[in-house]
A and B are shown apart, each in its own frame.
Chain A
Amino acid sequence: MENNNVIPSYREMVAGLQDMVYNTALSIVQNVEDAEDITQDVFIKLYEELDRFRGEAKLSTWVYRITINKALDAERKRKAKKRGGFLNRVWGTDEEQEPAHFNHPGIELDKKEDAAVLFAALSKLPNNQRIAFLLHKAEGLGYAEIAEIMKISVAAAESLQARAKTNLRKELKDYYQKHFK
Chain B
Amino acid sequence: MEMNKKIEATLQSLDGMQRASASPYLLTRLQARLQTKEPDNFWVKAGRFLNRPVVAICAMFILILINFAIIVKSDVAVPDNKSITTATNYGNDLLSTNILSNYDLESTQP
Enumerate chain A interface residues (CB-CB to B < 8 A).
3, 7, 11, 14-15, 18-23, 26, 35-36, 39-40, 43-44, 47, 104-108, 111, 114-115, 117-118, 121, 137-139, 165, 168-169, 172-173, 176-177, 180
Contact = CB atoms under 8 A, between A and B. Distances in A.
B14 A20 contact: no
Contact of B19 (A15, A23, A36): A23
A121 B6 CA distance: 14
Nearest to B17: A106
B74 interface: no
Contact of A176 (B3, B13, B15): B3
B29 A40 contact: yes
Contacts, number: 98
B30 A43 contact: yes
B14 A138 contact: yes
A39 B16 CA distance: 23
A164 to B, nearest CB: 10
Interface of B: 3, 6-7, 9-11, 13-23, 26-27, 29-31, 33-35, 37
A114 B6 CA distance: 9
Question: Which 4 A-B pairs have CB atoms at the shortest separation, nearest pair first?
Answer: A106-B18, A22-B22, A114-B13, A137-B14
Contacts of A23: 19-20
Chain A facing B: main interface SS: helix
Contacts of B29: 40
Contacts of B17: 104, 106-108, 115, 137-138
Nearest to B23: A36
Contacts of A22: 20-23, 26
A11 B18 CA distance: 23
Most interface-central of B3, B6, B22, B35 (chain A CB within 10 A): B22
A169 B14 contact: no
A173 B7 contact: yes
B81 to A, nearest CB: 59
Given A20-B19, A111-B13, 6 more contacts: A19-B22, A23-B20, A39-B23, A118-B10, A138-B19, A180-B6
A180 B7 CA distance: 11
A172 B30 contact: no
14 contacts: A18-B22, A19-B20, A20-B19, A39-B23, A40-B33, A44-B33, A105-B18, A106-B17, A106-B18, A114-B13, A117-B13, A172-B7, A177-B3, A180-B6
